[in-house]
Chains A and B, each alone.
Chain A
Amino acid sequence: AQKVTQAQTEISVVEKEDVTLDCVYETRDTTYYLFWYKQPPSGELVFLIRRNSFDEQNEISGRYSWNFQKSTSSFNFTITASQVVDSAVYFCALGGGSGGSNYKLTFGKGTLLTVNP
């Protein structure tokens, strides 16, 4: 069975601080896909990034960066110089690939990030 663990339920930081959101996953699939989604206070779900299990390169997009480590089954998300607009719930998700969970998409419980001015 697939599982995604976001151990941090809530994080509160002051603007301009760097913050890392942790995501640990479990799967028996050899091929799989990892995602991050953002849910701002307005409630919609916004895609941030996708990574497949063959691509362990870290990625940077502006103030956002992602660290994928297959050896530790982690896909962590860092926001550099956080801003108030980053306040949201962030979800990590795991998409099945070649194995028995092919078409399921499993989300973590989410991390509520509050960035205070």
Chain B
Amino acid sequence: EAQVTQNPRYLITVTGKKLTVTCSQNMNHEYMSWYRQDPGLGLRQIYYSMNVEVTDKGDVPEGYKVSRKEKRNFPLILESPSPNQTSLYFCASSFLTGTGVKNIQYFGAGTRLSVL
């Protein structure tokens, strides 16, 4: 079954304790991306990756890191989480055809993170 898998689904942590949210897709997609969803702000892109070892900042990258060592995985790293990173996080992937984001994004189920 084609899917994007995020883990964990729920996480409560404390300020400053490093954490990683994993994202894995089984569709051989080149493009992967992380978003955060906050009430009244919609979905905002954190980082995206066009392929292995190619990543770039989205609109709200501060406080986050990513890596793309393998095509299927795109972990989101919070080195020193703070309460303002409490949010619902989504990972997504899609094929890349030519230039630009033109293909359907497949989303994971989301990770709800609370930073105390």
Q: Is B5 located at the chain interface by the 8 A CB criterion?
A: no
Q: How many residues of B contact A (CB 8 A)?
A: 28
- The answer to whether B100 touches A95 (Cβ under 8 A) is yes
Among candidates B43, B59, B103, residue contacting A91 with C-beta atoms closer than 8 Å = B43
Partner-binding segment picked from B21-29, B33-41, B76-84: B33-41
Given A107-B42, A109-B40; A97-B107 close (CB under 8 Å):
no
- Size bracket, chain A contacts: 20 to 34
- The answer to whether B48 touches A105 (Cβ under 8 A) is yes
Whole-angstrom distance between the Cβ of A90 and the nearest chain B Cβ: 11
Fill in one digit per residue for A25-46: 1 if any B CB lies within 8 Å of its CB, else 0: 0000101110101000001110
Whole-angstrom distance between the Cβ of B1 and the nearest chain A Cβ: 14
- The answer to whether A95 touches B104 (Cβ under 8 A) is no
Among candidates A96, A104, A108, residue contacting B59 with C-beta atoms closer than 8 Å = A104
- Known pairs A95-B100, A103-B101; list 16 more (Cβ under 8 Å): A9-B40, A33-B101, A35-B104, A37-B105, A44-B110, A45-B107, A93-B43, A98-B99, A98-B100, A104-B59, A104-B101, A106-B45, A106-B59, A107-B45, A109-B42, A110-B43
Which residues on B are within 8 Å of A, measured CB to CB? Answer: 31, 33, 35, 40-45, 48, 50, 56, 58-59, 88, 90, 92, 99-107, 109-110
